[in-house]
Amino acid sequence: MGLTTLQLLTLAVFAVTIVAIVINKLDATIAALLGVAVMVWMGTMTEVEAAELVDWNVMASWSELGCGERGSLTYD
């Protein structure tokens, strides 16, 4: 019971994405988006499946935090 080529490539993309995040080679958001884009391009999942897997509550929280870091919100 071996893995298919697509499964091995998917694991490789996942591993590279995680390593890039851990060693701070890329911002976590950028690395995750690139990893998902490659998986969609390879056919591991469709665009619809990728969008369904997003936790939009987390994305909204990150968006709010990002606004504060850019200075559009001020914190005392």
Number of domains in the chain: 1
Its pTM stands at 0.68
Determine, yes or no, domain membership for 47: yes
Enumerate residues 6+ apart whose C-beta is below 8 A from 28: 21
Q: Is 2 left (phi over 0), alpha (psi -120 to 50) or beta?
A: beta
pLDDT in tens, 38-75: 999 999 999 999 888 877 787 777 666 665 444 444 44
Please tell me the distance from the alpha carbon of residue 59 to that of residue 48, in angstroms, as a whole number. 17
Q: Is 60 helix (H, G, I), strand (E, B) or coil?
A: helix
Query: What would you report as the CA-atom Rg of the chain, rounded to the nearest whole angstrom?
Result: 16
Question: How many Cβ atoms are within 10 Å of 36's Cβ, its own excluded?
Answer: 20
**For 8-18, what is the mean pLDDT?**
94
Determine, yes or no, domain membership for 75: no
Determine, yes or no, domain membership for 10: yes
pLDDT in tens, 16-27: 999 998 998 888
